[in-house]
Amino acid sequence: MTDPDREPLRESERTTIITTDGDRGRGGGAIIAVVVILAVLVLLFVLFGGGLNKAADQVGVNVDVEAPKLEVPNVDINIPEKIEVDLPDVDTKDEPPANKQ
């Protein structure tokens, strides 16, 4: 039989674990998706809506600049028609190399 007055071998405590990070992280992806979609819509509107070219159409831009007159000096270069080069005589033989053993 067991002795009711005896001390227990180990005292245990109850521990309650509460997790609070289960719902986090779901809204971040939705926010990023909305920002990307808005950026793409704005980019498409600017590119295909003609927003980049409207400023030049409304303003009467007339550029008429006279270029300076450039005079190239006449340079006389004498290039010889024939160039002679002396090459040494090279004797070529069609004999196979000697076998070295």
Condensed to tens digits (0 to 9), the pLDDT of residues 24-53 reads: 656 778 888 999 999 999 998 888 876 666
Burial 48-79 (b: 16+ CB within 10 A, else e): eeeeeeeeeeeeeeeeeeeeeeeeeeeeeeee
Condensed to tens digits (0 to 9), the pLDDT of residues 62-81 reads: 788 898 999 988 888 888 88
SS3 readout for 21-60: CCCCCHHHHHHHHHHHHHHHHHHHHHHHCCCCCHHHHHCC
pTM for the model stands at 0.31
